[in-house]
Structure 1
């Protein structure tokens, strides 16, 4: 039985590990950080463990080129998987609800989007264009559709428990270079293939971090709400449910390594979202703030890296990283891609050197 090691225990690593495990392989996860409860996870020391701080929901992004078409297919695959998991495991931390999009300056892809195309070509369930009277001040275009969101701590912990109960092995280690793992003596035996789902790229010059600040509030919200402002900034909320509060965001700051949240930024985030969706405020017209959050999204110029690389004699790495802020919404599509690349590699008696892209 082939032994596959997955590097990283974020949403991509966990999803890929479970997907490979379903093919009957022995799988081990190696990571520095693992899922834990929101009450105990340390936002400062684990700022580089991206998945707990993610928005963790699915958004409508009309595809306009082949790369976006591929990502859209991955999002539909993930939507279907989330629906199936939620039906079998209501404890998994997944909630289906309405997603609302507001755009101040929609591009042509949004302007041309009709309800028929959304339903028949893009596979968007429950899609409806909003009337002018339903739009906040300053918003030119809007829609709603069926979507999902997850409580990241609950969901990732669920994935890890499923992996372990199905026989997966877990090892907490700091890794400086993925190639070092091939020299380890692991309980499950020699390593056939390493899956790099770590997010950071390990020397990939196209990878950079994007700092994001959000605010976790206790106020419930019945929908995910996203507003794209004309100046390029964003205003959004993602309900975490499962007693996880609601995330209000957010910022996107490339190459900003500051780990400290700004109270001034928090005030702007809350004010902007209250103006966009005042229904979230309590009876006194206020938010109940739980905490400020700063996270670092590993982002990659050129988008996802999903490919196989031969790094040495009988040393094969399948890379799966570079999703930026779309890790959750593309997770099971990426996991399928990893499984296909692995199957192709294992079925080949003389794998080619170099790189094989999906």
Structure 2
């Protein structure tokens, strides 16, 4: 924003999707504000695991390109993990076949099928990979700093109508996640509840996932600095924000079947996030605003916002600025 207060664009939503879109616009020279209802640490993004992987996200025709664009960014950011929160970490996707993935999988270096005896737990198939694992509190702070270094301004502001932003700037980018259900309104937006358990890391240095897309229960653990994140759940239309003790106990038990030492790890805390899924998948498209303005939608990423954020941000920049 210039000192005269002129604003070219307002991005509504301060999670990973909103911040990456704002960065792309600001680094193209636009004067941009981010309006966020929550502090960075209070967004759904802050609760994320967050392993790069296109999981439970549509539309399939677009997701591969968005994911790979984001992967290339994270691979670069992993050169400075202390600052960016991004590390490349080895792990296993159990119960997953290479043939069941899209063409994007062929562009992931080192992704390979495992022999049955190499797969942990009661699984006969799996894939090994070295993928970006992102410490979200650190990464979100880094994203905000990068945005502000490009001249952007973050404001803590709750929005009840997107026209509030349109009154300030000719370009509005809607990255409101679950709130898009009421703001757009879009009845296709639904919550998928994810619950996590944070424990002291008993020496686990690789990640593991076993996620059935048709089940409300998943099994995964991600080693992050100072903690091991255990998951998880995918409970559709469940908007409870408080952790459920029985769910937490079941998560620990599932993870301990893979790594028994997890059963004895001291619990540090619990987290719940509501993933914003959408019928038909991610919505990235523009529509005119009265008076000649432009509204760009970028929401409906479910639990894969981190995975596709940069690819989606590139698309937003194309819609706003041209290719």
TM-score (norm 2): 0.89
Give the Cα–Cα distance (whole angstroms) in 2 for the partners of residues 165 and 257 of structure 1: 36
Q: How far apart are residue 272 of structure 1 and its match? A: 0.6
Match of 1:195 in 2: 173
Is the Cα contact below 8 Å between 2:44 and 2:274 reproduced in 1? yes
Superposed counterparts of 1:157-306, under 5 Å: 157-184=141-168, 191-199=169-177, 200-201=179-180, 202=183, 203-219=185-201, 220-229=203-212, 232=215, 233-241=217-225, 243=226, 245-278=227-260, 281=261, 286-306=264-284
Q: Structure 1 pair 260/312, CA: closer, same or farther in 2 (3 Å)?
A: same
Unaligned runs of 5+ in 1: 37-45, 185-190, 348-358
Q: Which residue of 1 aligns with 2:140?
A: 156
1:56 to 50, 55, 76: 50
Partner of 1:353: none
- Per the alignment, in what secondary structure is the counterpart of residue 303 of structure 1? coil
Does structure 1 retain, via aligned residues, the 8 Å contact 2:98–2:113?
Answer: no
Q: State the distance in 2 between where 1:126 and 1:67 align.
A: 25
Paired residues for 1:2-151 under 5 Å:
3-36=8-41, 46=42, 49-59=43-53, 67-87=59-79, 90-103=82-95, 110=97, 112=99, 122-151=106-135
CA-atom RMSD in angstroms: 2.5
Deviates more, 1:332-341 or 1:69-78: 69-78
Question: CA 1:259/1:177 → structure 2, altered by over 3 Å: closer, same or farther?
Answer: same
Aligned residues: 312
What residue ranges of structure 2 are gaps of 5+ in the alignment?
Answer: 1-5
Q: CA deviation at 1:97?
A: 0.8
Contact persistence 1:229–1:235 (CA under 8 A): no
Q: Secondary structure at the match of 2:143?
A: helix
Q: TM-score, normalised by structure 1?
A: 0.80
Q: 1:62 to 1:27 in 2, by over 3 A?
A: closer
Runs of 4 or more, structure 1, over 6 Å off, are none
Residue 90 of structure 2 aligns to a residue whose secondary structure is strand
